[in-house]
């Protein structure tokens, strides 16, 4: 059994100074005034990873997805959703199959790779008015294309626009099949967004980005995301996609129980010498702290989940315990993964240890420390 001591982040956002003991599961949590000053957090869970380190989820083999998972784990992310984006249905199906195979390989090998918890499909059922960096291959969620997506057994989360024809019926069918629906890449009015929530949507994808803008006479989808609801507001905390003041606004509106953070990172994250690459509908490069197409359109981030935690603490003023909720507990709750994303008895011993300066000191996956 391994024991770590320090400031322990608990599932409700509070912290306690003490020791946590574990094998593959957490066996004991004890308060101790002499436990030290490291911060012990649950492993971080990223719901939106398009790629990193030169790996692109849309083109990845099962083996390269496992390698990407190993790299994510070394950043403190212990579970993730590989994210496919708008593309021909046949290409999405190939990505789905690679993700499904990688999931099985990871379970079979017991490899020290961040766990794949399913696929996030961002598109193609999105608004043609809010494509962002996506190609113009958007579809309505009905007919053969939708049936093909609905049949994808590893599909865990899907981003769609609730205002497009057929969307509300599609949300109901997806939810009935156990798929989590997120509202995003949308030109929805306030009423249309609220209808999506009523139909079963439980998240907003990268709030503020690729959405109808907030207006005091036309509140739109952003007002729906900032209001109390069962749908989490997901944000990209890189300081580029969302200005820190707007992150603070979301924090004041939704608080620790109503929001979560994602990276939306793409293959250029951690790339050597910023070589550029194909992202979404065109070539992209890193400029001004994020990935952009040639016309300046944002096409993803280059941060890790831990970078996001640091920004939320430094720029927004959340506590370390609250940040753990945003980056681990809330994503786990959304996925229904009740044994992940929390430090409590019998939960998986997926843990990260940070210094007082929030530097990553150790990562444990199922109780095993990464070398």
Name the residues annotated as catalytic.
264
Give the Cα separation of 252 and 316 in Å (integer): 10
Cis peptide before 124 (omega within 30 of 0): yes
CB contact at 8 A, 299 and 292: yes
Q: Which residues contact 94 (CB under 8 A, 6 or more apart)?
A: none
CA dihedral 245, 251, 253, 254 (to 10 degrees): 150
The conformation of residue 187, written as its DSSP 8-state character, comes to -
- Complete DSSP assignment for 169-185: HHHHHHHHTT-EEEE-S
CA dihedral 340, 346, 351, 356 (to 10 degrees): 120
> Strand, coil or helix: what is 5?
strand
Q: Find tokens 């999931």 and name the residue.
A: 103
């Amino acid at each position: 059994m391994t024991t770590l001591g320090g400031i322990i982040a608990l599932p409700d956002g509070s912290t306690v100074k003490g020791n946590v003991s574990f094998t593959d599961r957490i066996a004991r949590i004890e308060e101790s005034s002499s436990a030290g000053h490291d911060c012990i957090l649950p492993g971080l869970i990223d719901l939106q990873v398009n790629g990193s380190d030169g790996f692109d989820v849309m083109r990845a083999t099962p083996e390269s997805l496992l390698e990407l998972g190993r790299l994510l784990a070394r950043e403190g992310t212990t579970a993730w959703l590989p994210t496919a984006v708008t593309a021909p249905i046949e290409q999405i199906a190939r990505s789905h199959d690679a993700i499904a195979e990688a999931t099985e390989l990871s379970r079979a090998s017991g490899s020290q790779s961040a766990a794949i918890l399913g696929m996030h499909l961002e598109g193609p059922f999105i608004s043609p008015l809010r494509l962002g960096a996506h190609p113009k291959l958007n579809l309505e969620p009905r007919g053969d294309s939708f049936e093909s997506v609905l049949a994808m057994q590893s599909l865990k989360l899907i981003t769609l626009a609730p205002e497009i024809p057929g969307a509300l019926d599609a949300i109901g069918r997806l939810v009935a099949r156990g798929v989590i629906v997120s509202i995003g890449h949308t030109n929805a009015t306030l009423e249309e967004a609220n209808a999506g929530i009523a139909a079963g949507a439980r998240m907003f994808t990268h709030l503020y980005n690729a959405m109808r803008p907030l207006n005091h006479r036309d509140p739109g989808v952003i007002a729906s995301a900032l209001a109390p609801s069962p749908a989490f507001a997901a944000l990209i905390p890189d300081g580029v996609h969302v200005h820190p003041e707007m992150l603070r606004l979301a924090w004041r509106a939704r608080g620790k129980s109503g929001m979560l953070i994602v990276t939306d990172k793409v293959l250029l994250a951690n790339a050597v010498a910023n070589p550029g690459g194909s992202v979404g509908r065109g070539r992209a490069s890193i400029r001004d702290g994020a990935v952009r197409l040639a016309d300046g359109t944002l096409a993803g981030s280059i941060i890790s989940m831990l970078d996001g935690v640091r920004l939320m603490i430094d720029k927004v003023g959340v506590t370390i315990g609250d940040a753990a909720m945003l980056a681990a507990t809330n994503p786990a709750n959304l996925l229904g993964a009740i044994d992940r994303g929390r430090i409590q008895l019998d939960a998986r011993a997926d843990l990260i240890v940070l210094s007082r300066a929030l530097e990553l000191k150790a990562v444990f996956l199922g109780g095993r420390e990464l070398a």
